[in-house]
Structure 1
Amino acid sequence: MRFFLEISYHGASFYGWQIQKKNISVQETIENCLSFLLKKSIKIIGAGRTDTGVHAIQMFAHFEFYEKKILLYRNFLFKFNSFLPLNIKIINIFTVKKKIHARFTAISRVYEYRISLGKNPFSLDISWQWLSKKKIKLNPLNKGAKILKKYKDYSSFCKKKCNYKTYICNIFNAKWHIKNNILYFNIEANRYLRNMVRSIVGTLIELGIGKITIKDFINILYAKDRNIISAPAKGLFLTKINYPLNIFLF
């Protein structure tokens, strides 16, 4: 039987989602806990791979287990969370149809990037602290975001040494707004290249402070040059993953 985990985590203490040989990851932490509780080796498959220091408000992962009752008891979810560290929370566990895949069945993923417009000691590891005297202008940021949606090939915003079969992505939404002295960038796409969101944010901020022009930004999109400035990981959140409505097994 296939189960889905809905997960939330603070990424500052982890070297990303994916299991690594020498460093602690979110995936390994959850697998170890789940295997201990179920007394069986459990491997989970995530809906994506967040990098070192990146957070998730909503992440999904799937795994196989033969007994439905144990996992769906309310006290199991409580027990599961009790064994996990405080920076990881299992929000929900539910059954899905056999062929549903946490990664490949997903329709889109939404990310949010946060920039504190000034010194804020309470958001040190959950936002990019903007301490420069250069003011970030919202209008150029949204002009750039609007242009971004018109393109499909995002090679310029991919980390070097990444070999994808295709660099084509469909960006459905991309917009900036300010609330309580925090600058937010929200983006939704069907898929992302490695380091793509942080590279987009870093480049759009250059536009927002007047370091580059709209014409420069368009040229960057066309250039497919991966020497792009990247925003710090700590400001990035995976906020939502969308799936078809018929994935659940009731």
Structure 2
Amino acid sequence: MRYFIELSYRGTAYHGWQTQANGVSVQTTLESALTQRLGKPIYVMGSGRTDAGVHAKEQFAHFDVDEPLDLTEAFIYSINCMLPEDIAIHTIFPVRPKDHARFSAKSRYYQYHVTRQKDAFHSNLTYHFRPKLDIDRMNKACELLLQHTNFQSFSKARANVNHFHCKLDFAYWKHTNEDCLTFHIKADRFLWGMVRTIVGTMLEIGQERMSLDQFEQIILARDRTVAGRAAPANGLYLVEVGYPVAVLENRT
């Protein structure tokens, strides 16, 4: 039987989602807790790979077992007790054998949080960036971004993918308060390092250090070396993974 896990995590202490040879990952930590609780080796497949230091308010993964699980509140609580405090399982629910955490997903929605004021309690959860930014120019850049589908210029050079096309649903900047600014972006898929590189490049636009014409030429160049520096990982959050209704029908 196949089960989906809905979870969240603070990525500060981890070398990303995927199992790493040289560091602790979210995937490895989750597998260890499930293996301990179920008494047999458990492998999980995530909806996508978040980089080192990136957070997730909503992430999904699936795993397979031979027999049905007794999905009580106490069962999920017991697994959460085995997990560190920066990883939390919200629910576990059965899905069809063909449902896949990664390949059944239709969209991913990310947010990137920038703050002008230093905050002792959120130093690893937002990007402290002091320069004043022109949000109107940055949103004009978002309008240009939405006119394109090839984002090779914003992908890490070592990305092992068949193509660099992504269909964006939206991209925009919005003030959450006077000192905090959030970038919202949703697409059917994302390339390795794509969101952070877009953010880093748009921060150049917001400081009027790059024109909108230059930004579009970066997109058209399909060359990572011409785009801006990637923004730090600590401001990035995976906030929603979209699935067909049938996949989530047993979610509680």
Q: Normalization by structure 2: what TM-score?
A: 0.96
Partner SS for 2:139:
helix
Partner of 2:187: 189
- Taking a change above 3 Å as real, the CA distance of residues 248 and 127 of structure 1, as seen in their structure-2 partners, is closer
CA contact (8 A) 1:176 1:185 kept: yes
Partner of 1:221: 219
Partner of 1:9: 9
Partner of 1:201: 199
1:162 to 150, 159, 164: 159
Partner of 1:26: 26
Residue correspondence of structure 1 range 220-239 to structure 2 within 5 A? 220-227=218-225, 228=227, 229-239=229-239
Question: Deviations 1:57-77 (Å, cap 9, x if unpaired)?
Answer: 00000000123243x122100
Shift of 1:214: 0.5
* In 1, Cα distance between equivalents of 2:203 and 2:37: 46
Partner SS for 1:122:
coil
Q: Which runs of 5+ in 2 are unaligned?
A: none
Partner SS for 2:21:
coil
Partner of 2:208: 210
Partner of 1:44: 44
| Residue 173 of structure 2 is aligned to residue 176 of structure 1 | yes
Question: Deviations 1:164-200 (Å, cap 9, x if unpaired)?
Answer: 2100000111010011221100100000100000000
Question: Deviations 1:87-137 (Å, cap 9, x if unpaired)?
Answer: 000010000111000000001000000001222222210111012xx3101
* In 2, Cα distance between equivalents of 1:26 and 1:219: 37
- Taking a change above 3 Å as real, the CA distance of residues 74 and 67 of structure 1, as seen in their structure-2 partners, is farther
* In 2, Cα distance between equivalents of 1:74 and 1:120: 35
* In 2, Cα distance between equivalents of 1:153 and 1:217: 14
CA contact (8 A) 1:95 1:249 kept: no
Partner SS for 1:4:
strand
CA contact (8 A) 1:97 1:249 kept: no
After the TM superposition, list the runs of 4 or more consecutive aligned residues in structure 1 that deviate by more than 6 angstroms. none
CA contact (8 A) 1:37 1:80 kept: yes
Paired letter, 1:49: R
* In 2, Cα distance between equivalents of 1:161 and 1:40: 35
RMSD: 1.1
* In 1, Cα distance between equivalents of 2:182 and 2:249: 36
* In 1, Cα distance between equivalents of 2:74 and 2:184: 35
Shift of 1:19: 0.3
Residue correspondence of structure 1 range 11-160 to structure 2 within 5 A? 11-70=11-70, 72-131=71-130, 134-160=131-157
* In 1, Cα distance between equivalents of 2:231 and 2:115: 13
Partner SS for 2:224:
coil
Q: Normalization by structure 1: what TM-score?
A: 0.96
Q: Which runs of 5+ in 1 are unaligned?
A: none
Question: Deviations 1:152-172 (Å, cap 9, x if unpaired)?
Answer: 100000011223210000011
* In 2, Cα distance between equivalents of 1:241 and 1:161: 25
